[in-house]
Amino acid sequence: MPADSSPLPGQGHTVCVTGAGGFIASWIVKLLLEKGYSVRGTVRNPDPKNSHLMELEGAQERLTLCKADLLDYESLKEAIQGCDGVFHTASPVIEDPEKMMEPAVTGTKNVMTAAAEAKVRRVVLTSSIGAVYMDPTGALMLLLMNLAGVILSLQNTKNLYCYGKTVAEQGAWDLAKKKGVDLVVVNPVVVLGPLLQPTVNASIMHILKYLNGAVKTYANAVQGYVHVRDVALAHIVVFETPSASGRYICSESMLHRGEVVEILAKFFPEYPIPTKCSDEKNPRKQPYKFTNQKIKDLGIKFIPVKQCLYETVKSLQENGQLPIPKQVEDSGQTVCVTGAGGFIASWIVKLLLEKGYSVKGTVRNPADPKNSHLMELEGAQERLTLCKADLLDYESLQEAIQGCDGVFHTASPVTDDPEQMVEPAVNGTKNVIMAAAEAKVRRVVFTSSIGTVYMDPNRSPDVVVDESCWSDLEFCKSTKNWYCYGKTVAEQDAWDVARKKGVDLVVVNPVLVIGPLLQPTVNASTIHILKYLTGSVKTYANSVQAYVHVRDVALAHILVFETPSASGRYICSERMLHRGEVVEILAKFFPEYPIPTKCSDEKNPRKQPYKLTNQKIKDLGIEFTPVKQCLYETVKSLQEKDHLSISKQAEDFVKNH
Q: Among all residues, which ones are annotated catalytic?
A: 487
Dihedral angle sign, alpha carbons of residues 491, 493, 499, 504: negative
Q: Coil, strand, or helix at residue 370?
A: helix
188 near 226, Cβ under 8 Å?
yes
654 near 11, Cβ under 8 Å?
no
DSSP state of 97: H
Return the HEC string of 194-246.
CCCCCCCCHHHHHHHHHHCCCCCEECCCEEEEEEHHHHHHHHHHHHHCCCCCE
In 520-581 the beta strands, taken as DSSP E runs, fall at 539-540, 544-549, 568-572, 575-578
433 near 407, Cβ under 8 Å?
no
Radius of gyration of the CA atoms of the chain, in A: 27
Q: How far apart are CA 619 and CA 570, in angstroms?
A: 10
Question: Left if phi > 0, otherwise alpha if psi is -120 to 50, otherwise beta: which for 487?
Answer: alpha
Q: Coil, strand, or helix at residue 475?
A: helix
Q: How far apart are CA 9 and CA 16, in angstroms?
A: 16
87 DSSP β-pair partners: 17, 124
Q: How far apart are CA 184 and CA 396, in angstroms?
A: 63
Q: Which of 192, 191, 144 is nearest to 169 (CA)?
A: 144
Give the DSSP per-residue string, 261-310: HHHHHHH-TTS----EES--SSPPPPPPP---HHHHTTT--PPPHHHHHH
Q: Which of 199, 291, 227 is nearest to 626 (CA)?
A: 227
Q: How far apart are CA 147 and CA 187, in angstroms?
A: 12
Q: Are strands 183-188 and 122-126 parallel, antiparallel or unpaired?
A: parallel
Q: Are strands 544-549 and 575-578 parallel, antiparallel or unpaired?
A: antiparallel
In 527-574 the beta strands, taken as DSSP E runs, fall at 539-540, 544-549, 568-572
CA distances from 282 to 130, 216, 222, 318, 492 (A): 24, 18, 14, 38, 54
DSSP state of 452: G
Q: How far apart are CA 477 and CA 455, in angstroms?
A: 11
Displacement of CA 227 from its chain's centroid (Å): 9
53 near 115, Cβ under 8 Å?
no
Displacement of CA 644 from its chain's centroid (Å): 21
Give the DSSP per-residue string, 30-46: HHHHHTT-EEEEEES--
Phi, psi angle pair for 406, to nearest 5°: -160, 165
Dihedral angle sign, alpha carbons of residues 595, 601, 606, 609: negative
